[in-house]
Amino acid sequence: MTRAHSSTRILAECPVHELTAGGGERQEDGHGRVELKALLQPSRNWPMHQAGCYAHLNTNLRIREGGRYLLLGRNGVGKSTLMQAIHRRDNGLESFPKGVQTFLLDQELAFMKESLSLDETVQQCVSRHASARVRALEAEAERLEQSEEEASEEAMQRLCDLYDEIEEGEGQSRQREEEARALLKGLGFRNGREAARLKSLSGGWRSRVGLVCALLHRPHLLLLDEPTNHLDIHAICWLQKYLTRKYAGESLLIVTHDRRFAEEVATDCIVMANQRLQYYPMSLKQMEEAVEADALKMGRLVANLEKKKAAVRRQKDAMSSAAHAKGDAKSGAQAAKLAKKLGRMGLEKTADGQKFNAQKHGIRVGADNNNCGGWVKGKRTHQDILGGGQQGSEGRSLGFGFKGHG
């Protein structure tokens, strides 16, 4: 079960509206140049009175201390791209706080390429990552010692701080060596398997080594992209318990298709859909129940709207009939006004009870006209707004491609 939130303090926040698909769909801009597809800003060329131009105002990435975030979205929406941009501080996320340490466990295990090239054993690879923080501090201290700025007061103060951190880190490294052995054992490395060469391991066992390395780093924000890939049920259950009870890092951002793992680990959900991020400070199951309740509420509101539109439609038809039968210009003008009103009739409030604003919300649910004032033809539910095709808690789908285990 997910534990209660431990903190409301924000660990990191930055705008993400410039995020683009690095290797995805490319579009010609009409001037012979190729522009990358914007993932969280659909409106670069829209007229300024349309809501999409303001999409970036509500597209900040916010991570609080102690949160275990589940990043949800349909396949191809850009979840992995977002995680890579956070870790690299590129692709529109250059402003992600530099002081927030991150570590990305990607599906390709890119950070293990050096270990593979050095033909390291499992134990050697894990030990190197256990001491990675100390080695980074030592490298920074060496650069400062050789720098021309060494004599400055600021540089000397930083060197003193680095020496203190290195001394503290060396003690922690020894603790992490012990932790590494426990992690390897928990993920099935027994009977000397930890002495095997990485090159000799299958993809599944390499994934377990990568997971151990990631957990040992204990960054402020650990990014886990499909961490349960290649894990059996016992390893998945072990990982669930470790992340919820023993993990000593700050916050987690997870992408996974394993439904039970997501339900057990996540304390918060972020839905990436329709070029924006939607936040739900609750577990996956609670989020699904909230979405389903909002969809039912929206359905009732739309049903009431249709009744009102039917009454206006009858009134318009009566005026139109009178205008044609008697040649009554006044009735004709009234019928035209009612037709215009009918086309623009939509819900006055959004699913969360806010008064509709075209610039802020963009789409007026239930209206027939598709114009620059923010109306769109047809009925849209809260489920549609989350990316389309979702089911409620009974359907266990929400369009995110979950699978179970066990």
**Rounded distance between C-alpha atoms, residue 347 and residue 351, angstroms:** 9
CA angle 104, 16, 215 (to 5 degrees): 15
**Three-class SS of 98-135:** CCCCEEEECCCCHHHHHHHHCCCEHHHHHHHHHCHHHH
**Rounded distance between C-alpha atoms, residue 106 and residue 276, angstroms:** 23
Residues in Cβ contact with 64 at an 8 Å cutoff, skipping those fewer than 6 apart:
5, 7, 8, 9, 10, 11, 251, 268
CA Rg, the chain, in Å?
27
Phi and psi at 112, nearest 5°, equal -95, 0
% helix, strand, coil for the chain, step of 5 = 50, 15, 35
Residue 344 near residue 367 (C-beta atoms within 8 A): yes
Which tokens sit at 183?
């992690």
Condensed to tens digits (0 to 9), the pLDDT of residues 305-322 reads 889 989 999 999 988 898
**Cα dihedral: 397, 402, 403, 405 (round 10):** -110
Quick one: pLDDT at residue 84? Answer: 94
Residue 101 near residue 220 (C-beta atoms within 8 A): yes
Spans in the chain with pLDDT lower than 50: 1-5, 23-35, 43-52, 370-397
**Rounded distance between C-alpha atoms, residue 102 and residue 220, angstroms:** 6
**Rounded distance between C-alpha atoms, residue 83 and residue 277, angstroms:** 13
**Rounded distance between C-alpha atoms, residue 380 and residue 127, angstroms:** 53
**Rounded distance between C-alpha atoms, residue 138 and residue 328, angstroms:** 90
Quick one: pLDDT at residue 393? Answer: 37
- Closest alpha carbon to 257 in 26, 74, 134: 74
Quick one: pLDDT at residue 225? Answer: 96
**Rounded distance between C-alpha atoms, residue 164 and residue 284, angstroms:** 42
**Rounded distance between C-alpha atoms, residue 37 and residue 19, angstroms:** 9
Quick one: pLDDT at residue 404? Answer: 62
Quick one: pLDDT at residue 365? Answer: 67
Residue appearing with tokens 């990552």 = 129
Which tokens sit at 153?
């007061």
Question: 1-101+219-282 has which fold?
Answer: Rossmann fold (3.40.50)
Residue 213 near residue 184 (C-beta atoms within 8 A): no
CA angle 154, 159, 161 (to 5 degrees): 95
Q: Give Cα separations from 252 to 8, 215, 378 (angstroms).
A: 15, 11, 39
